[in-house]
Copies of this chain bind each other. A is one copy, B any other.
Amino acid sequence: MVSDLDKVFNRQISAQKKSAIREVLKLTQRPEIISFAGGLPSPESFPVEHLRKIVCEIFDSEDASLALQYGTTEGDQRLRELLVERYRKQGLDIGTGNLIITTASQQALDLLPKIFIDPGDKIICGLPSYLGGISAFGFYGAQMEGVKLDKYGMRSDLLEDKLKKMKAFGEKPKFIYTIPDFQNPAGITMPESRRQEIIDIAHKHDVLIVEDSPYRELRFEGSAQKMIYAMDNTGHVISLGTFSKILAPGFRIGWVIAHEKIIDKLVTAKQTADLCTSPFVQKIAARYLETGIFDNHLEKIKNLYREKRDIMLTALKEYMPDGVSWTEPDGGLFLFLTLPDYMDAGELFMQAIEEKVAFVLGSVFHCDGSGRNTMRLNFSFASKDMNVEGIKRLANAIRKNIK
């Protein structure tokens, strides 16, 4: 070994703590623990039989050798066409030149700072925001500036204040990072009125918006709010999508929709990152969209998750002591729980593990370290019975700390 390996690593990696989620997940993966910590889709939601059939068809067709060969960096042409078609129905004014396939959304969250961030550049994000986004941006030396959410998502008044203050210092963020639908971790959806306010502010301050929307198609109730991209359609918005929550995360397929100039830079960045996303899994996804099974299957997943959410909400009402509140999401995988002010979710965590239940600390989603009395709960992965039993256990742990 070289004499001092620690000095060979660069500044960015040396500054990284081991990922909070990764370390916590290890603890929560003990078999006796009911874990609300992960963000995993339910295995019941995977269309195994349909996929088996589709893969056999691919192997029996001339697509087989294309599926096993290198593909283009932009992604499978047919898959891109199908996705563009879907989005055009949602009012997005785009063509295939506006869409690149990525190795799931996480790669999109890595490629964005790779083309936009010089160390010290700023990004605005919600308080709270998806940890995987914050971490990816941080790896490139981005400084996160948090803006609080209310029940309609990122507060536009605080966003405008923040941008004005930055402007006074001659600063401008590289983009505003938002998760408008069933926000991870907060479970909140931005109504169109708030989306419009954010767009107006972005236009006024000449700033890009990143719309990260992995859960958009998982709406259980209420009506869909237009995509920020569709409401803007002027190239101010970069939208991220993924098959991870609506088909299978094991395929690692996501995409970015943006102005062609941005897609072009993303292609250049992706080429050195992994050359191309697996053409094999892209061909599977394309056929899955083509067959029309997809929309039927989506209904099945939504019914399943609606039921799981309802069961968790009922259990929360029944078992949680006074002073504890939570969001009631219209879709997605998560709800967000707020403890009384005087409680610390970090201190509670080990007590919860003793009760054999796990969650993720809300504070890890807050770039300013706030949110210490909050936690994220996933309702999609555990069985219905475990969702009830887990909430009982969590309520027990919390009750012991009520003053």
Q: Which residues of A are at the interface with B, using a C-beta cutoff of 8 A?
A: 1-3, 5, 8-13, 16, 18-19, 22, 38, 40-41, 43, 46, 48, 51-52, 55-56, 59-60, 64-71, 73, 103-104, 106-107, 109-110, 114-118, 121, 132, 135-136, 139, 174, 206-208, 234-236, 244, 248-252, 259, 261-262, 265, 268-269, 271-281
Q: Are A250 and B52 in contact (CB under 8 A)?
A: no
Task: Write the chain B residue with the least CB distance to A4.
Answer: B206
Give, as a whole number of angstroms, the nearest-CB distance from A70 to chain B.
Answer: 5
- 27 A-B pairs in the complex with CB atoms less than 8 angstroms apart: A1-B235, A5-B261, A8-B174, A9-B116, A10-B114, A10-B116, A10-B117, A10-B118, A13-B115, A13-B269, A19-B271, A43-B65, A43-B69, A48-B65, A51-B68, A52-B56, A55-B55, A69-B248, A69-B249, A103-B252, A106-B272, A132-B271, A135-B271, A251-B280, A278-B278, A278-B281, A281-B281
Decide: A68 and B274 in contact? CB cutoff 8 A: no
**Given A69-B248, A139-B269; 15 other pairs, CB 8 A cutoff:** A10-B116, A10-B121, A12-B115, A18-B268, A46-B64, A46-B65, A51-B68, A55-B55, A55-B59, A70-B244, A109-B272, A110-B273, A135-B271, A252-B275, A252-B278
Closest 3 CB pairs of A and B: A1-B235, A68-B248, A43-B65
List chain B residues, Cβ under 8 A from A269.
Answer: 13, 139
